[in-house]
């Protein structure tokens, strides 16, 4: 883990965040610069730099994360109208914080293609 990783700081409760869900493997919190009425970031507690750095050992955690996202979306009342899940991998894709994270966005109509 990098000592300057903002998401590790949130995980360790050294940086405040509006946390909406937490368990032993992940944390979901509101994005400080939301791109939709509902915009959460879901991070693993384990520091994983990017999607490219996932290992076979992370498969169960990643699966549980995506299953939990549907429950979080339901709790935000966006599951029926629709939501978008985004994972950016490295700089050209828009990853700014190098700790694996999933964006959950909803509460408005999205267009395609993105970006």
**Active-site residue set:** 101
Render the burial of 76-89: b for 16+ CB within 10 Å, e for the rest.
bebeeeebbeeebe
The H or E element containing residue 10 is helix 6-11
């Amino acid at each position: 883990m990098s000592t300057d990783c903002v998401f590790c700081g949130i995980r360790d409760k050294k940086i405040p965040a509006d946390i909406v869900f937490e368990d032993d493997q992940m944390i979901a919190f509101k994005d400080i610069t939301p791109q939709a009425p509902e915009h959460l970031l879901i991070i693993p507690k384990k520091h994983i730099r990017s999607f490219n750095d996932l290992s076979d050992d992370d498969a169960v955690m990643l699966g549980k994360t995506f299953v939990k996202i549907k429950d979080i979306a339901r709790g935000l009342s966006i599951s029926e109208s629709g939501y978008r899940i985004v994972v950016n991998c490295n700089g050209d894709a828009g990853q700014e914080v190098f700790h694996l994270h999933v964006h959950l966005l909803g509460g408005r109509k999205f267009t395609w293609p993105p970006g």
